[in-house]
Structure formats: C-alpha cells, structure tokens
Amino acid sequence: MRKPKKLLNDPNSVAQEQFEGFMVAATHMEQIGSLTAAIRKDYTPNKVAIVTGGGAGHEPMYGGFVGKGLADGVAVGDVFAAPTPDVIMQTCTALSPENGVVFVYGNYSGDNMNFDIAAELLEDAEIKSHTVRINDDVISASKENQQERRGIAGALFVLKIAGAAAEVYPEFNDVVSATEKALANTASIGVALSPCAIPRNQSFNFDIADDEIEIGMGLHGEPGVGKSKLGNAEETVYQLMEKLEQELALVEGDEVCVLVNNLGASTQMELLIANRSVGQYLTKKGVFIHECLVGNYCTSLEMSGYSISLMKLDEQLKQLYNLPCHSVALRK
C-alpha cells in the first residue's frame, strides 16, 4: 500500500513551522508573539475589523488573505483543527478595534465553538462582534439545511467583499450586510481525484481508486455524493456547473466571478482545462464572467482535484470586488 511522502522537519510542528515560513513572505503583517496568528501592520483601529481563521493545511487560506482590502487578522490552528479561543481573542485584541469585529470563517463544528467563545470574550470586553459562517459547499447539505453546509474555497470571495466593505463603510451594520450578501450569492462544489494525509499520520485519510473520482468531497475527506468513474474534464465540469447554476438561479445576463481552485496536487494545466469548460458553459447560458481566478487558494494538503466557486454579482458586490486589495495570495 502506498504511503504518504512529505519533506518535513518535525511532523508534529508543521503548523507552527509553515506559519513562520509564511510570515517571512508576509512583510506587511505582524505576528502576535510566537502564536500562529498575525495582523496587518497598517490596520487602523477606527475601522471595522475583519478577523478570519481556521486549521492549517489549507494554505494560502487563511493567512494569505490578510491585507489591505481583505482580512485584518488571522488565527490559525493545527492541521485541520480550529484555532483556540485564546488565540482568536489575542488576534482581536492586537487590533484594538474601536468599531467592532466581524468574524469570517468556515462552517465547521470546532471553528464554530471556538469563535463563539471568542465572541463571548469580546462581549465581556465590551467589543461588539458579528459572525459570518461560510457555508458555500452546495453538496454538503440541502438548500433547506444550508446552515449545515461546509465552508470551502468560496471563502475567498466572501473575504474580498468583507474586506472591501470594511475599507469604505464606516458603519458596522453596513459591513455585515455586504458580507452576508456576498455569502448568499456564493456557491462552490469540488471534485477529488486522490486523498491527502495529515503529516503526523502514516496513511491517507480516505481512499479513492485510480479510476474513480468523488464529487463533493470535503476539504478534510468528508464524504461527497459518492464515487464515480473517472471521465473527461468537460463532462465533470459540466456536472459541477449544473449544480452551481441551479443553486444561484443563474439566468441569461447575469454576471459572476469565477474561482477554479486547486485542492493541492493538481496541475495548472488541469485547472486551465477545467476553466475552459467553465467559460464554455457560462457562455452557452449567456452568463458573463467579470473576473476569473485560477490557482491555489484553498487547498487540502496533497489532495488532487479542484473546486469551482461562483459569486453572482449585483452593482454593490461588483463595486466592492473591484476595489484594490493587497495580500500574499491576492492582489488587485
């Protein structure tokens, strides 16, 4: 049986070491002591603070999206594990927010619990907060139960809108409203071709046969809608796009942002071939592409496959999306 092969130092220290390596590149950010947490150096306390975070193993999500026009602070946990409430709280207090904190993170039980505790601690400190749980994965639960859906790569679009709104809107409720609108208009779905392995483990965390794929596989190996035989790229992408079209109720004349996101080990060639099919599908439907991102944005260690995210735009979301941003993983 094939075993995972990684070039590491200490498998038990990868979250800390990768974050330290990230901070070498993130010259616009300041690490909070030795924590796997950091804030923007140029943050001004009079604006609404956008704080994000989650488990390591999804790089460049989440730290890669901290910067002007994006998140203001990030708290990172161990591999596939939520950051602790203390680390989240220290991230918030390092920002000294005078106009409140908006939490934006993936909808997973551990993250929900720990960010909720941090929100309670902020309340005790008389700092208002609001939570936006990203639940863009359309396969993980029905639309009627979308509060149970997982958060995947569509987090990028939600963070982009949240960060832009916080730059231009002085009112807390306006930032919250724009962020929630972005989430309501974002949908994602993925396909996995091969598994990943947590560094300290000596085995992969799920199995996929060489001639199989799984539609809707989660970032941590959560089951999708079932395995199917490996087909061609166009057939697979069209299957994904049909679900996204239905979810967002797309009609002729709509305009969207597109993200074709690498889950980790797929090649840029595969992503671009997928993006070709995305473009063909939307053109046939009369849906316009405002901007298209293709690459590594929310990964799952060495899992191969990709996810597709769409954000349907209105004039407000389009204006906010077009505002400049600067981070390690996204610049406009």
Catalytic residue among 28, 220, 290, 326: 220
Cis amide prior to 62 (ω within 30 degrees): yes
143: CB partners within 8 A, 6+ apart: 247
Is 326 a residue of the active site?
Answer: no
Catalytic residue among 58, 130, 290, 326: 58
**CB count in 10 Å sphere of residue 96:** 13
Q: How many helices (H) and strands (E) would you count in the chain?
A: 8, 12
Is 220 a residue of the active site?
Answer: yes
Dihedral, CA of residue 176, residue 178, residue 181 and residue 187, to nearest 10 = -100
Q: What DSSP string runs through 269-312? A: HHHHHHHHHHHHHHHHHTPEEEEEEEE-SS--TT-EEEEEEEEE
Compute CA distances 95 → 57, 75, 185, 257, whole Å. 25, 12, 29, 31
Active-site residue list:
58, 220
